[in-house]
């Protein structure tokens, strides 16, 4: 690679007499071509190059390839769980490569998703990030890690921050599938699927062992981030190992200094001499407290006992420190801060996954993959009101067991069958406790969820891909899902009008997509798909979830919601210099699960944690709809310059005509890139349009503390833009330095629905070394 000097595997080296491929070291034996006048070098991600033999000899047989800006031959996995040519996929998929992650230096996996410029991320606190895809978020979008679904039984409908458990520095590649993906992935895949693939061990054909690895150190000024990362890969003929470690420490986040002074909060709470005191910050642009720490570990082993058998094991571990919930810490009551403390306890996630893969033509499969996984997820919430000595804590621990079978069977040269099944079981432990921070005495309180609840799913799917002609492809599929939920309620604290919940439900889903390629430079696609989300324990069985002035109670009559979507798209390439993409979609959500006013034992308000609160519950409303337009452009300019841009527009309402909470403002980007040998730079603009008060969802209108005020004093989300610059220089194949300046103009802004203002001017310096 002429930009980062790294070896390129699978480069086709050929002349009219034959061909060879490069290995993982970017090397190939070309002795058989010694009589040739020239050789051609081809890789789908790079510009094809033809070099005269004498020029090869003059360069000591070292060849540098330039990455393609315009590429019509990309390979994706998210559409079917197997590698496919993107030209055969009747839908939108955005990818973020490890190369882009190394260049843009996202701090978290949530920030990694924004590198695509096509996913909006909301943040309630700095230690978080809730992706919003096509007007859906939280438990209406699915996270998949190495083929295993990460969503569990307590993923909530509010903004969800779990994606930060993944380590951006150990992601090999990630893809976002836009629109319903329930045929392949099951429940929750309504708005889209985030498919992450982490680093994996390599094997080598020759005997002996080969060690490869890398280290990273990074500093960011806006939150005084200090990150250290290292990974080591050991490759043998049959055995391989991959170890990755990342530690990050983040200080309090500084917002910008220009515009929207209302986002400033000059005061904060500190306990002094046993009493809560309100202090004034020396710098009101510092958001106190927002800092936290996180560690991520990854260990993978791979064993290939025979050429057609492959066994791999992966262990993922992530643990954060306490994470301040900043949007709660800026709430006021009677002109005074409401909470002295509100934070998430350490968020801990680990996964053990064992995958067996068999590759050989059989009657029922060509490739079969079986994955058994266990996840342990733990989260907690702690809060204490200003002036109170009572700290309340609610702790959740979820055990998740899963089994996935995925099969790829070629029926002919043009037709492939993908089928398989999935089983998951979630087991929940939930408890609540209040503790006097002065005396140390503790007593139980109502838990957030019914302790001992369980949630089980079973599914089977079938998908057929057929290239009916060189110009026309179809991809269709069906899936059946069965869901069981059991929860018993403890009446110690509240007299529930029911003993528990026994939910038994099923769902059929289908999809039909078509791709038409009249020429090599044109592509049209149409995709019809349905998706669904079954009620989980958070939806149906949440005991109480306090929000300002309201509580949420269980609803034993909750049913699944279903989405129906149509997706149209067009891609046009002008030679290998320019590619334009445009598309639109419409999604209808029926029996949508939304929060509405409710009655508990005939009452519309109850006393909860000493506060009279309006009763609400998750119910199946009539319907909701979302439509949108999406465009993207890539242009290879003269020399080493390139241009890239994107724009997304969304609109959505529920059946009562109210705007939907997770429909984001229109947003987009423009990038001007310069990539000569050894150097890469990007000057880019990110922008968001305004959401006026009348276009805010009712639930957002009730959060004035996180929004700016318009001329009438009503909350709204202002438009904003940032100018940013990133650069990287590759000294040699081992050493690289990166420099970034985000928000060059130091503007003060808060992304839509976020409880924390974004970073002000942020200088990022990174050093990478590889061996």
Give the integer Cα–Cα distance in Å for 296 and 760. 27
pLDDT at 518: 97
For residues 176 and 629, what is the distance between their CA atoms, to the nearest angstrom?
Answer: 17
Residues 503 and 158 sit within 8 Å (Cβ to Cβ): no
119, 133 contact by CB (below 8 A): yes
Instruction: Tell me the percentage of the chain whose pLDDT exceeds 70.
Output: 99
Using an 8 Å Cβ cutoff, are 631 and 649 in contact?
no
Give residue 44's pLDDT. Answer: 83
* Residues 211 and 236: beta-carbon distance below 8 Å: no
pLDDT band at 580 (very low <50, low <70, confident <90, very high): very high
CB 264 within 8 A of CB 254: no
pLDDT above 90 (res 597): no
Look at residue 341 in the predicted model and tell me its pLDDT.
98
Domain boundaries, given as residue ranges, for the chain: 1-67, 197-272+288-320+336-422+457-770
Q: Is the predicted pLDDT of residue 210 greater than 70, yes or no? A: yes
Split at pLDDT 50, 70, 90, the class of 557 is confident
- Tens digits of residue pLDDT in 673-726: 999 999 999 999 999 999 999 999 998 999 999 999 999 999 999 999 999 999
Please give the C-alpha separations between residue 630 and each of 646, 654, 695, in angstroms, as whole numbers: 8, 22, 20
- Counting Cβ atoms within 10 Å, is residue 303 exposed (0-12), middle (13-18) or buried (19+)? middle
Number of H helices, E strands in the chain: 7, 51
Classify residue 252 by burial, with Cβ atoms within 10 Å: 0-12, 13-18, 19+.
buried
What is the pLDDT at residue 545?
61
Q: Assess whether pLDDT exceeds 80 at residue 141.
A: yes
The DSSP bridge partners found for residue 550 are 547, 614
For the stretch 501-530, what's the b/e string if a residue is b when 16 or more beta carbons lie within 10 angstroms of its beta carbon? bebeeebebebebbbebeeebebebebbbb
Residue 65 near residue 47 (C-beta atoms within 8 A)? yes
In this prediction, residues 79-85 reach a mean pLDDT of 85
pLDDT digits (tens, 9 = 90+) for 656-685: 899 999 999 999 999 999 999 999 999 999
Burial of 723 (0-12, 13-18, 19+ CB in 10 A): middle
Distance CA 621, CA 140 (A): 16
pLDDT at position 541, please?
A: 87
Helix (H) or strand (E) holding 327: helix 326-329
pLDDT of residue 616: 86
pLDDT at 592 over 60: yes
Backbone angles phi, psi at 79, to 5 degrees: -65, -30
pLDDT at 237 over 70: yes
Q: Which residues pair with 269 in a beta bridge?
A: 278
Q: Which of 197, 243, 211, 251 is nearest to 227 (CA)?
A: 251
Q: Residue range 25-38: average pLDDT?
A: 89
pLDDT higher than threshold 70 for residue 425: yes
d(CA 90, CA 78): 12
* Secondary structure E strands in 575-610: 578-590, 593-597, 605-608
Q: Is the pLDDT of residue 582 over 80?
A: yes
Dist CA 466 CA 560 (whole Å): 32
Task: Count other C-beta atoms under 10 Å from residue 279's C-beta.
Answer: 12
Tell me which long-range contacts 62-67 makes (C-beta under 8 A, separation of at least 24).
64/1, 64/2, 64/677, 65/1, 65/2, 65/8, 65/11, 65/41, 66/2, 66/3, 66/675, 67/1, 67/3, 67/675
3-state secondary structure of 308: coil
Neighbours of 369 (CB within 10 A): 20
Would the pLDDT of 297 be above 60? yes
First to last CA, the chain: 16
Take residue 68 and report the two structure tokens written for it. 């393609």
Answer whether 378's CB lies under 8 Å from 397's CB.
yes
Question: Within 13 Å of residue 411, how many CA atoms lie on the same side as its CB?
Answer: 12
Q: What is the mean pLDDT of the chain?
A: 94
- Residue 423 or residue 24, greater confidence: 423
> What was the pLDDT predicted at 319?
99
The pLDDT of residue 546 is above 80:
no
In terms of DSSP H, where are the helices of 525-684? 537-541
Which CATH superfamily, name and number, covers 197-272+288-320+336-422+457-770? TonB-dependent receptor, beta-barrel domain (2.40.170.20)
Rounded distance, CA 201 to CA 234, Å?
A: 7
């Amino acid at each position: 690679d002429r930009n980062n000097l790294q070896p390129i595997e699978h480069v086709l080296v050929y002349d009219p007499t034959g061909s060879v491929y490069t290995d993982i070291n970017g090397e190939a034996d070309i002795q058989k071509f010694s009589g040739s006048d020239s050789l051609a070098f081809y890789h789908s991600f790079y510009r094809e190059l033809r070099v005269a033999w004498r020029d090869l000899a003059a360069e000591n047989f070292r060849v540098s390839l330039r990455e393609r800006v315009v590429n019509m031959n990309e390979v994706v996995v998210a559409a079917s769980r197997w590698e496919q040519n993107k030209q055969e996929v009747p839908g939108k998929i955005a990818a973020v490569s490890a190369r882009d992650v190394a260049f843009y230096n996202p701090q978290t996996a949530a920030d990694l998703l924004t590198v695509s410029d096509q996913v909006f991320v909301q943040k309630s606190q700095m230690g978080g990030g809730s992706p919003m895809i096509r007007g859906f978020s939280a438990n209406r979008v699915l996270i998949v890690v190495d083929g295993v679904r990460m969503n569990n039984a307590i993923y909530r409908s509010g903004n969800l921050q779990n994606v930060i458990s993944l380590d951006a520095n150990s992601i090999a590649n990630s893809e976002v599938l836009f629109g319903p993906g329930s045929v392949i992935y099951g429940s929750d895949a309504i708005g889209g699927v985030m498919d992450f693939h982490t680093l994996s061990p390599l094997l080598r054909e020759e005997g002996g062992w080969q060690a490869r690895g890398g280290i990273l150190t990074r500093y960011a000024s806006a939150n005084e981030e200090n990150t250290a990362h290292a990974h080591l890969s050991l490759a043998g003929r049959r055995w391989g190992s991959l170890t990755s470690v990342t530690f990050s420490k983040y200080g309090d986040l500084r917002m910008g200094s220009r515009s929207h002074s209302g986002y400033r909060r000059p005061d904060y709470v500190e306990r002094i001499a046993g009493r809560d005191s309100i202090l004034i910050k020396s710098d009101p642009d510092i958001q106190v407290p927002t800092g936290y720490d996180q560690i991520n570990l990854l260990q993978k082993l791979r064993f290939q006992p025979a050429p057609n058998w492959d066994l791999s094991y992966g262990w993922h571990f992530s643990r954060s420190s306490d994470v301040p919930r900043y949007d709660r810490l800026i709430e006021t009551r009677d002109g005074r801060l409401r909470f002295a403390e509100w934070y998430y306890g350490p968020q801990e996630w680990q996964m053990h996954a064992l995958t067996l893969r068999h590759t050989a033509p059989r009657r029922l499969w060509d490739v079969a993959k079986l994955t058994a996984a266990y996840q342990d997820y733990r989260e907690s919430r702690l809060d204490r009101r200003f002036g109170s000595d009572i700290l309340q804590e609610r702790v959740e621990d979820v055990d998740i067991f899963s089994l996935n079978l995925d099969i790829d069977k070629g029926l002919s040269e043009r037709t492939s069958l993908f089928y398989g099944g999935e089983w998951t079981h979630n087991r929940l432990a939930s408890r609540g406790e209040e503790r006097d921070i002065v005396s140390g005495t503790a007593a139980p309180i109502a838990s957030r969820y019914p302790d001992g609840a369980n949630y089980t799913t079973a599914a089977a799917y079938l998908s057929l891909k057929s290239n009916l002609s060189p110009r026309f492809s179809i991809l269709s599929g069906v899936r059946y899902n069965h869901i069981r939920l059991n929860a018993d309620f403890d009446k110690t604290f509240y007299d529930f009008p029911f003993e528990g919940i026994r939910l038994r439900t099923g769902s059929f889903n289908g999809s039909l997509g078509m791709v038409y390629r009249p020429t090599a430079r044109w592509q049209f696609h149409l995709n019809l798909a349905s998706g669904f989300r079954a009620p989980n324990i958070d939806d149906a069985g949440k005991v109480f979830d306090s929000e300002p002035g309201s509580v949420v109670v269980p609803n034993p009559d909750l049913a699944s919601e279903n989405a129906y979507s149509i997706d149209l798209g067009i891609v046009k390439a002008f030679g290998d210099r320019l590619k334009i993409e445009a598309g639109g979609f419409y999604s209808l959500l029926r029996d949508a699960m939304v929060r509405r006013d409710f009655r508990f034992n005939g009452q519309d308000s109850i006393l909860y944690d000493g506060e009279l609160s309006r009763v609400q519950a998750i119910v199946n409303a009539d319907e909701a709809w979302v439509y949108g337009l999406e465009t993207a452009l890539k242009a290879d300019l003269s020399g080493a310059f390139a241009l890239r841009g994107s724009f997304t527009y969304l609109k959505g309402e529920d059946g009562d005509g109210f705007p939907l909470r997770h429909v984001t403002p229109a947003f987009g980007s423009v990038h001007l890139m310069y990539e000569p040998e050894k150097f890469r730079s990007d000057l880019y603009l990110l922008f968001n349009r305004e959401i006026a008060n009348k276009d805010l969802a009712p639930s957002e209108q009730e959060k004035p503390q996180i929004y700016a005020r318009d001329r009438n004093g009503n909350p709204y989300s202002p438009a904003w833009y940032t100018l940013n610059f990133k650069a990287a220089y590759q000294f040699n194949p081992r050493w690289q330095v990166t420099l970034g300046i985000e928000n060059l103009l130091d503007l003060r802004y808060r992304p839509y629905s976020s409880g924390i203002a974004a970073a002000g001017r942020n200088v990022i310096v990174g050093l990478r070394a590889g061996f």
